[in-house]
Structure 1
Amino acid sequence: MPSRLLPPAGPARALAAAQLVNALGDGAFLVTSALYFSRVVGLPPTRIGLGLTLAWAVGALAGVPLGQLADRRGPRTVAVLLAAATGVSVGSFLFVRGFLPFVLAACCYATAQTGLAAARQALLAALVARRDRTHVLAHLQSTLNAGLAVGAAVGGIALHYGTRAAYLAVFAMDAAAFLLCALVLLRLPEVGPTAAPAAPGRGPRFTVLRDRPYALVTLLNTLLLLRMPLISLAIPLWTVTRTDAPGWLVSALLVLNTGAVMLFQVRTAAGVRDLPSAVRTVARGGALMLASCAVFALSAVDAPVWGAVAALLVAGGLQVAGEMMQSSGAWQIGFDLAPADRQGQYQGFFGMGVPLARMLGPLLLTALVVDWGTPGWLLLGALFLGAGLALGPAVRWAERANSALVSVG
C-alpha cells in the first residue's frame, strides 16, 4: 500500500516532499488571501481581481525566460532560488497597505511561482527517466491535492477567528513553507546546465517561440486547463445560483474532486507511457468532459432537490475523471515534444497555460455557463472535446517537425 501512495525512493520522493510542503502553505493561503486583502487591507473586490489579473499576466510572460535560466544555470539552483523568492514575495504581503504595493507584491509572487514551476519540471526531467516522468508527476499531483486539502483546513481555522493576526499567521506559514521547500530542493543532486550559451549572431535565444507546432499544442492544452476555474469558480456559482441543490454541495463537490485525484491520479496515469497513449488518453478525457458539461446543464432542470444533487455528483465525478485523463496525457506530451537540452524554456512555455487559464477563465466561464446556462455548458463541453481531439494532429505535426530538424542536423 505505501508504494502506491509514495513515489519511488530517491529524487522523485524528494520532489514529492517539496510539493507537499508547498501545498500545505498554499492551501491555507488560497482560502484566506482574498478575504485578507478585502477585510484587512481594505481593497475593493474589483481591484483585487484587477491586481491578480495583471500579476498572472506578468507571470505568464516570465515563464519562458526563467525556464531558459534554468537551462543555462542548472534547474536545481534556479528552483531553489525561485522557491526562496516566492517565500519572500508571500512575506511581502504582510506589509501591503494599498493597491499599488499589492500589485507589485502579486506580480513578484506570480513571476516566482511560474518560474519555479518551469524549473521544477526541468529538474524532474533531468533526474527522472523519461519513461517514468508521467508516473512521478501523477504522484506529485496526488501529493499536491493532499497538501492543499490539509492547508485549506488550516486556513479555515484562520477564517473562523477572522482576526488580522490569524490571517498574518497564515501568510507567514506559507512564506516559511516555500523557504523549507527551497531547503528540500537543495538536498537533491546537483544538475548542471543543459543548454550551451548562445553564440553571437546565432538567432533568437528562445527557440520555443519559433516552434509553431509546440505553440499549437500549448494553446490546445491551455483550453483544456479551463477546467481549473471551472471547479473553483463556475461550478460553485452554478450550484448556488442556477440549481435547487443545497449550498453545502459546493464543498462536497470540491472534496470529491480533490479526494479522487489523491486516490486515482496515479492509477489513471499508469497507462500513459508514450505520445500515442497520451494522445488517446487526452481524447478520452475530452469526451468525459463533454458528458460532464451535459449533466451539469441537466442539474438545473425543474426536478426534486435530490435530482439536482444526484446530477451534480454524477457531473462532478465525470469531470474529475476527465481532468485526470487530460492531466496525465498533457504531462507526457509537454515533456516528450521538448528538446532534452531546453526543457526549462519549453516547460516554461507549456506552463503558461496555467496563469492564462487563471487570468481569462473566470470571466469566460461565468459568462458562458453561469449567465448563458445550458447552451453555454454544451458549447464548453464541445470545446473540451474539440481541443482534446485536435491534440492528436498537433502532436503528430510536432513529431514530424522534430524529425525534420534531427535529419537536417
Structure 2
Amino acid sequence: MTIRILPPPGAPRRLAAAQLSNSVGDGAYYVCSALYFTRVVGLSPAQIGLGLTVAWAVGSVAGVPLGALADRRGPRGTSALLALATAASVASFLVIRSFWPFLLAACVYATAQCGLAAARQALLAGLVPPAGRTGVLAHLQSMLNAGLALGAAIGGLALGADGAAAYRAVFVMDALSFLVCAAVLLRLPEVAPAPARTAGEPRLAVLRDRPYAVVTLLNAVLLLRMPLLSLAVPLWIVERTQAPGWLVSALFVLNTFAVMLFQVRMARPVTGLDSARAAVRGSGPVMLASCAVFALSALPGSWWAAGVLLVLGAALQVVGEMRQSAGSWQIGFALAPADRIGQYQGFFGTGVPVARTLGPLLLTSLLLLWGIPGWLLLGGVFVAASYAMGPAARWAAAARTAAVGGAVVGSA
C-alpha cells in the first residue's frame, strides 16, 4: 500500500505548502498559549475561557462576509491579507498585559482565521476542478496534521524550558508562519472575482438558503467529534477509568498520525454528491461503535483492559472522522453556487467554531454526568445526524437545480 501525503505538483502542492507553514506555528501555539496567557500575560483561566469563547463566536459570524469579500475581490489577495491579519494578531499577544486588549486581539485572531479558511476554500475551488477538490482537501488535512504534530513537538520544548522567553519565541514563530503562508498564497495563480451582483440579488444569499443551512447545522452536530478527543476523552480517562494518564497523549498521537497517513486514501472514493452522502452516512455507525467502546472502558477491570478499549475506541473514532470529513468537504462544495464559494464556505465553516464553543460544555455534561448512557446517547446523535445528511443534501441539491433553472428561464 502506497501512502502519499503530498498532493500533485502545481497549485495543489503550493496550497499544501501554505497549509503546512501555518499549521507548524499553530501546533506550537496551541500547546503553549494557555500557559503563556496565564503566566506571562497574567490572565485567569476564567478570563482566557471567556475571551476565547467570545472571540470564536465573533469569528464564526465574520466568516460569511469575509468569504463573500473573497468572492467579490478575488480569493488569492483576500487569503493573503487575512494571513497577514492573523500574523499581526498573534504578534500583538506579545505586548498585551490585560484582559480587554487580549479580548480585542483574540477577536481579530478568530475573525482572521475563520475568514482565511473561507477564502482559501474559494481559492482552492478556483484552482482545482470539482472532481479533484475532495482529494486535494484530504492532502491538505494530512499536511495540517503533520504540521500540528511538528509544531506540538516544538511547543513541547518551550514547555520544558517553561520561561517567558521560550513562550514568546513560540508566538514569534507562529506569526512568522502566517507571513510565510501569505507569501506562498501570493505565488498561486490569480482567480477571477465573481461577477457583480445583479439588481435585487441579496448581498449574502447563503443566509436565505434554508436547505444549505440545514446541511450546515447537521455538519456542526457531526463536528462535535472535535472536542471529543481533545477534552471529553481525557477527562473520561482521568475520572472514570483505571487507565494511566499518559494514554491521553498516546490517543492524540494515534489520531494525528492516522489522519496524516490515511485521510487521502479514505477520501479517494468520494468523487461526487452521492458518494459523499454515503461516506457521511457510513461514518455514523462507526462513531456509535466508538462511543460504545469508550463507554465500556469505565467498567470494572484492569488498567490494561481499559487501555485496550480506549485505543480501540480512538481507532474507530478516527475512521469515522476521516469518512465524515471527506463526505462533508464534497457536500459543502457541491451545494454551493460557483460564484459564491467564499460566502457559502464561510457559512459552512461556522460548524467548526460552533463545535469548539458549545461542544466542551455539551460533551462534558453529557458524558461525565450521565456516564455510559451519555456515551450511547451521543453515538445515537451521530447516527441520526449522519443519516439525516443524505435527505438534507438531496433537498439542497434540488433547490439549487430549481434556482439555476429559474435563473435561466428569467434570462431567456
TM-score normalised per structure 1: 0.98
Matching of residues 311-350 of structure 1 within 5 Å: 311-350=309-348
**What is aligned with 1:213?**
211
Residue aligning to 1:229: 227
Which residues in structure 2 correspond to 1:88-237 (within 5 Å)?
88-197=88-197, 199=199, 202-237=200-235
**1:325-373 Cα distance to aligned partner (Å, 9 max, x none):** 0000000000000000000000000001111111111111111112221
> Cα–Cα, structure 1 residues 164 and 70, in superposed 2: closer, same or farther, change >3 Å?
same
Pairing of 1:320-399 with structure 2 (within 5 A):
320-399=318-397
- The answer on 1:14 being equivalent to 2:19 is no
TM-superposed CA distance for 1:3, in Å, is: 7.9
Distance in 1 (alpha carbons) for counterparts of 2:339 and 2:5: 31
| Equivalent position amino acid for 2:301 in 1 | A
Match of 2:272 among 263, 271, 274: 274
* Pairwise CA RMSD: 1.1
Task: Give the Cα–Cα distance (whole angstroms) in 2 for the partners of residues 253 and 4 of structure 1.
Answer: 23
Kindly indicate whether the alpha-carbon contact (under 8 Å) linking 2:118 and 2:346 is maintained by their aligned counterparts in 1: yes
- Judge conservation of contact 1:71–1:345 (CA < 8 Å) in 2: yes
CA deviation profile, 1:238-273 (whole Å, cap 9, x unmatched): 111111000110011001100100111000000000
> Which deviations, in whole Å up to 9, do the C-alpha atoms of 1:375-403 show, x marking residues without a partner?
11111111111100000000010111111
1:117 and 1:277 map into 2 onto residues whose CA distance is 24
Aligned partners of 2:402 and 2:181: how far apart in 1? Answer: 41
Structure 2 Cα separation of the partners of residues 313 and 185 of structure 1: 38
1:85 matched residue in structure 2: 85
CA distance in 2, matches of 1:86, 1:2: 36
Mapped to 2, the partners of 1:182 and 1:357 lie a distance apart of: 27
Q: Work out whether 1:309 is the aligned partner of 2:314.
A: no
Unaligned runs of at least 5 residues, structure 1: none
Q: Using the alignment, how far apart are the partners of 1:190 and 1:118 within structure 2?
A: 16
Mapped to 2, the partners of 1:13 and 1:347 lie a distance apart of 21
Contact 1:67/1:346, CA 8 A, preserved across alignment: yes
Q: Is the 8 A contact 1:60 1:111 kept in 2?
A: yes
Write the deviation string for residues 190-234 of structure 1: whole angstroms up to 9, x where unpaired: 1120241454xx142000000000000000000011111111111
Task: Map 1:51-66; keep pairs closer than 5 Å.
Answer: 51-66=51-66
State the distance in 1 between where 2:304 and 2:219 align.
35
Post-superposition offset of 1:305:
1.1
Matched, 1:30 2:51: no
Q: Tell me, in whole angstroms, the C-alpha distance in 2 between the residues paired with 1:336 and 1:320.
A: 24
Residue-by-residue CA offset, 1:139-160 (whole Å, 9 max, x unaligned): 0000000000000000000011
Q: Is the 8 A contact 1:72 1:197 kept in 2?
A: no
Structure 1 match to 2:289? 291
Q: What letter matches 1:309 in structure 2?
A: G
Secondary structure of the equivalent of 2:166? helix
SS of residue in 1 equivalent to 2:4: helix
Aligned residue identity for 1:87: A
TM-score, normalising length: structure 2: 0.97
Asked if the contact 2:3/2:262 (under 8 Å) is kept, the reply is no
CA contact (8 A) 1:288 1:322 kept: yes
Q: Percent identity?
A: 67
CA contact under 8 A between 1:198 and 1:205: conserved in structure 2?
Answer: no
Runs of 4+ in 1 over 4 A off after TM superposition: none
Distance 1:100 1:237, change over 3 A: same
Instruction: Provide, for residues 75-117 of structure 1, a one-character-per-residue CA deviation record: whole Å limited to 9, x for no partner.
Output: 0010000001100000011111011111000000000000000
Aligned position for 2:256: 258
Give the letter aligned to residue 369 of structure 2.
D
Deviation string for 1:45-102 (max 9, x for gaps)? 1111010000000000001000000000000010000001100000011111011111
Residues 195 and 342 in structure 1, CA contact (< 8 A), matched pair in contact too: no
